[in-house]
Chain A
Amino acid sequence: AQSVAQPEDQVNVAEGNPLTVKCTYSVSGNPYLFWYVQYPNRGLQFLLKYITGDNLVKGSYGFEAEFNKSQTSFHLKKPSALVSDSALYFCALARSSGTYKYIFGTGTRLKVLA
């Protein structure tokens, strides 16, 4: 069965510090992995995706994520957090064939403190 886990409900980080939001997955076959961000009263906004190739993918707003197949992880990172990064972050999994629906994690609320 496919699943996505975001083990932290909330992550607090000081502005200017590096941030990491964790995501692990379980799937048979090759995964496609995505990060989305949700600001209040807005839809989920696409940040980045891993399809194949380089394990480090770069996305919008200075975010990046590292795909680790052996650890089945896809953690979201940013070298220097901004207060404006405070939002709800979702990791999502799609399979490489068959169904194309997303399976979402439970979300992690990131709070960047000034």
Chain B
Amino acid sequence: EPEVTQTPSHQVTQMGQEVILRCVPISNHLYFYWYRQILGQKVEFLVSFYNNEISEKSEIFDDQFSVERPDGSNFTLKIRSTKLEDSAMYFCASSELAGGANEQFFGPGTRLTVL
């Protein structure tokens, strides 16, 4: 069964460093998303992406964040200068079609620890 994959599973970084989290969505999916979950809190939407551009972003997704689909398979989330409060589990998701009726498929997550 096709699945969303994410690398690395755990990333430890120093505050102020740049990190890139990688995701490989399901191959025929066209819509991509990043969510994050701070420990003990809700899963929160960060950004959605379609046709090589951002469709929607949340207030969390400030200028420190960027997303890119550098090739036909990868979808990346970059945090330019990490802060302590960026420590969280980051989930990538993809869906075949747009629209709220279409379920999103989630990857296993990357745990980001900022020291």
Contact = CB atoms under 8 A, between A and B. Distances in A.
A79 to B, nearest CB: 23
Which residue, A34, A90, A101, has most C-beta atoms of chain B within 10 A? A101
Contacts of B15: none
A22 interface: no
Contacts of A51: 101
Interface in A26-45: 32, 34, 36, 41-45
B106 A44 contact: yes
Interface residues of B, number: 31
B62 to A, nearest CB: 17
Interface stretch (B39-47, B64-72, B80-88): B39-47
Given A95-B100, A100-B98, A43 B107 contact: yes
A96 interface: yes
Chain A interface residue number, banded:
20 to 34
B23 to A, nearest CB: 11
The 9 closest A-B pairs by CB, nearest first: A94-B100, A43-B106, A44-B106, A101-B45, A104-B43, A32-B100, A43-B108, A51-B101, A46-B103
B2 interface: no
Contacts of B95: 100
Contacts of B41: 106
A71 interface: no
Contact of B33 (A32, A97, A101): A101
A35 to B, nearest CB: 10
Contacts of A107: 42-43
B56 A104 contact: no
B75 interface: no
A99 interface: yes
Contacts of B3: 43
